Structures are given as structure tokens and as C-alpha cells.
Structure 1
Amino acid sequence: MTTTVTPPPVPSLVEGTVSHTRHTPLTHRFRHRHFQWLVDVDDLPRLPWPTSLLARFDAADHLDGGRLGGGIRGDLDRFLAARGVSLPQNSRVLMLAHARSLGHVFDPLTVYWCIAPDGELLATVLEVHNTYRGRHTYLIQVDDRGRAAVDKAFYVSPFNDVSGSYDIRLVLEERRVAVAIRLNRDGTTVLDAAVAGRPIPATTRALLSTTVRHAFMTHRVTALIRWHGVRLWMRRLPVVPRPHRLEEAVR
């Protein structure tokens, strides 16, 4: 069955919330204000200085780091080609991600929607980063309701190993962009995580006002991840040693 999407105009700022609920072996919840960018990787925003200090997109922050050229799109095309997927030249790739701001970026999850001119969804890719500078990329098959499932293959949290599977729900609409992920293991839901927001055109005025409301966004993402990790550790949630080698399936 063909899946179609109706994305908002880009670039957009997607302002909303991020939430996380751990269900077992203890309960821990949080919800924070949040925003990300939705951009076309073939037409990334080029902001004038000094506004560019607030938002910049660099191939080095994603996928294969632009190692072989072609920027983010080149890396994504090579990743897909290695898995038997070829995008037509007139396709678009929309990316939901954090921008590098004031010299810092951390993207726990980046989503790529590969879209044909008629709105058909050709491929969907999730790129996961952890706080140990590891990256892993999943090619997922989304149904007509935006749902997908994939086995977990990457160490993200010090409180989870790489066993289990993810149930995923993606929304890319003119008035709402959202990502929900559920980690299941042995028939039990371990945790739920979600980001959701309303896209607005990324004008200079909108960027400045959003930055004021969400000061040091990417810095706060990193700090909050560590803060909640400390809280879980203090509650004696068992720590799972990370592998010595973090596989990076991004090529």
C-alpha cells in the first residue's frame, strides 16, 4: 500500500514538547518544552551572521559525517543504496533535527523522510546518537498510518542493553510533526519516548523568539539527559556496561 505525506513548508521550526516514560524496573517520567528544525537537506538554511550562531547545519553532525562528499544527501543516498533503495533525482528529503547552536549540537534522534513529488513516501530513516559519540541508523518500513517496527541494534542508554524492539509512529503533517517510540522487551513495554510539535515558518523573527523561549536548546538536551541519568542511578537502576565498540551502521 502506498503511503503519502503532506509536510508543512520548510524550513520550519517545530515547537512543542519531548516526553519520556520508563515503565520498568522502576517508573520515571519527564516532559520538557522542546523545539527542532524541519528542513530540506538539499536546501539547508543559510543564515547571515550573527543569526547563524543560533542555527547551522553541518554534514559532520550526521550519518557518515560527509566523509565521501555530497553533504547529508550524499551520505543518505549511499546508506540507502547499500540497502537496495535508490531515490529518484526529483525526490525530496526532509530532516527533523536539532541545528548546531552556539557551537554545540546533540541530536538523540534525527528523522529523514524521503518523498516523491506526488507525496509518496519512498523511504524513512531514523538516525540515533548516544552520549558516547556513537551513531546508528535504521531504515524502517512505514505503513499508511505512519507505524513501523524494528529490532533494537544500538546501545543508547546505560540502563538498557541492545535487546528488544521498537514500535514507532511518525506524523508529518502541515500542522503537526511527531515521533513516538516504544521499546519492548520479552512482551513488556520498557519505555515510551515522544517528541511532538507544531511547525511554523522559520523566519528570522520566529527563530529569535523561539530561541528566547528555549534558550540553549541543544545544550539543555545534553544536560537534561545527564541529569535524568543521574537521578536513575541514584535510584539504583542497574547500569548495563556499554560495548567496547559502538557499531555505526551509517554507511
Structure 2
Amino acid sequence: MDAAALVTSRIIHTRHRPVAHRLERKGLSLWLDLDRLDEAAWQSALFSIGGFNLLSFDERDHGPNFVAGRRIVEPLASYARRLAQKACPDAVIDRVMLLTFPRILGQVFNPISVYRCYDAKGAVQLTIYEVRNTFGDMHSYVGVGDTLHDADKIFHVSPFLPVTGDYKLKMRNSDDEMSLLIGYSIDDQPTLTATLRGTLSRLDSNRIITGLIGAGQFPGRPLFSIHLEAFKLWRKKVPFFSRPIPPEAAWSNARSKGVE
């Protein structure tokens, strides 16, 4: 298995209430072995680790490095293992993978990135759902095992959703496919469903170019899409919620609910 792969995907956001709204688009993500970033940097002349390129990845965009003002204070593989030791102290983490959007010509915004921590037998021991908002805040929901996770929403994501209710979170992945499900409910009533379903391919120069063109990706596209959809929701008179003070804790527990 290569140190880095591309994930071409279809992303769907569906708001169920108080006003129905749907967004569907193609996406291009990275699937990275965080212990082998030096190897990943050699897979394509169009891809870099920690430097400028057509496509790149920078550890400063995630975890404690992002919180510290985009300074490298801890390798992400070490960070994930540190969380694993707190959440499941008996687990021995052999490999840490990350699903995330790449930088495109140096620009990136990641609404959610997902870490998967595996033991030596390839079993998932921990999943970290790292969430960001457009205000520069970050919070992670940490779930033990390869299962459906349930988490109380304590972090402001959208001004058109309150900080209440709960998430259902589930990631599945194989050697050639992956999916991510986010179900958000208020008072047990489905409010929003977001899904990513993708196919993995080798990261090389040809696939970088065809992937960017095929997904219609360009620098700043995620933020552009977010603000465009926000305008549409405003036009539909969806209630607006001001940004509260972010939670002090960098992460919170997501409860294991069993496989569904």
C-alpha cells in the first residue's frame, strides 16, 4: 500500500428541517499514512508534504498544530496515538491514517478530517472526527472502535444550526472504497444528513490532474461553496444562530453504538 492515495468522491448534504435543502458535489481528498509522510512526498512531482505545490498536505493544518497558530508542535501520528492512549489505553496503535482535503495551490479548508488508528492486525481501535468552522475554531469527537459513534454536539459549525442535539458518525473503508456518514438530530428528529462516498486510487501526477479536473476543484472551493449555500439558506429564511464561545476542551468522547 502506498503512503498516500487520492479519494474521488461524491458529497451530499441534506437538510431535513426546518427547511429542506440539498447540496451535492464531487470531491477530491487525500488518504494518508501519517507515519510515512516522507514517502508520500516522493509519489508525484505535483504533490508535496509541508511545501507549496499544485497539491499538498501540511501537518500545520490539523490537530494541536492548527490550534497553536499553524506551528508544528507535534507530529500528527504522535498526536493521534496520544489521544488513543487516553481513550483506549490498552490499544497498541500500529498505523495512523488520515482522510482530509488537500491544499490546492497552498489553500485549504477542511470542515471535517478523519483519523483512523489501527492495531498490528489491521483492526480499527480509534476514530477521530476533527471538525472545523469558518471562524477558525476546531474540536474533535473521539470514538473507540470501528463502529457507529454517537456524540453530543458541543461545537458551533454552521450559523444555521444550534449547538444542541447529537451526531451519528460512521466511517467505512476498504482497499478501494470508503464512506463517511454524519447524521445530525435535534430531539431525536433528523435535521441534517451528510455523506461522502469515494473510490481510492494511487496518488500520481496523472491522477492528480484528472482528479482536480473531474471534481471541478480549485483553490478556495470549499469556502466558496459554504458561503454560497449559506446565502441560499438565508434566502430561505432559515433561522440564524450566533457563534457561541468554543468549548475549552480540544476533544470530547463519542459513544460506541455498535455496527449499523
Residue 16 of structure 1 aligns with which residue? 9
Following the alignment from structure 1 to structure 2, what is the Cα–Cα distance between the partners of residues 59 and 187? 37
Deviation (angstroms), 1:250: 4.9
Aligned residue pairs total 241
Q: What fraction of aligned residue pairs are identical, expressed as a percent?
A: 27
Distance 1:73 1:54, change over 3 A: same
Structure with more of its chain in strand, by fraction: 2
Match of 2:24 among 31, 34, 39: 31
Secondary structure, in 3 states, of the residue corresponding to 1:65? helix
What is the TM-score with the length of structure 2 in the denominator? 0.84
Deviation (angstroms), 1:122: 1.3
1:92 partnered with 2:95:
yes
Following the alignment from structure 1 to structure 2, what is the Cα–Cα distance between the partners of residues 81 and 184? 30
- Unpaired stretches in structure 1, ≥5 consecutive residues: 1-7
State the AA in 2 paired with 1:114. Answer: C
Secondary structure, in 3 states, of the residue corresponding to 2:104? coil
Within 5 Å, give how 1:75-90 maps onto structure 2: 75-83=79-87, 85=89, 88=92
**Deviation larger for 114-123 or 17-26:** 114-123
Residue 126 of structure 2 aligns with which residue? 123
Distance 1:85 1:162, change over 3 A: farther
Secondary structure, in 3 states, of the residue corresponding to 1:56? strand
Deviation (angstroms), 1:169: 2.1
Q: Deviations over 1:187-222 (max 9, x none)?
A: 200000011111011122211221222344452111
Secondary structure, in 3 states, of the residue corresponding to 2:121? coil
- Unpaired stretches in structure 2, ≥5 consecutive residues: 253-260
Deviation (angstroms), 1:79: 3.1
Within 5 Å, give how 1:1-251 maps onto structure 2: 10-44=3-37, 45-47=40-42, 51-52=47-48, 53-65=53-65, 69-83=73-87, 85=89, 88=92, 91-143=94-146, 146-217=147-218, 219-245=220-246, 247=248, 249-250=250-251
State the AA in 2 paired with 1:56. Answer: S
Secondary structure, in 3 states, of the residue corresponding to 2:220? helix
Distance 1:46 1:172, change over 3 A: same
Residue 258 of structure 2 aligns with which residue? none
Distance 1:86 1:74, change over 3 A: farther
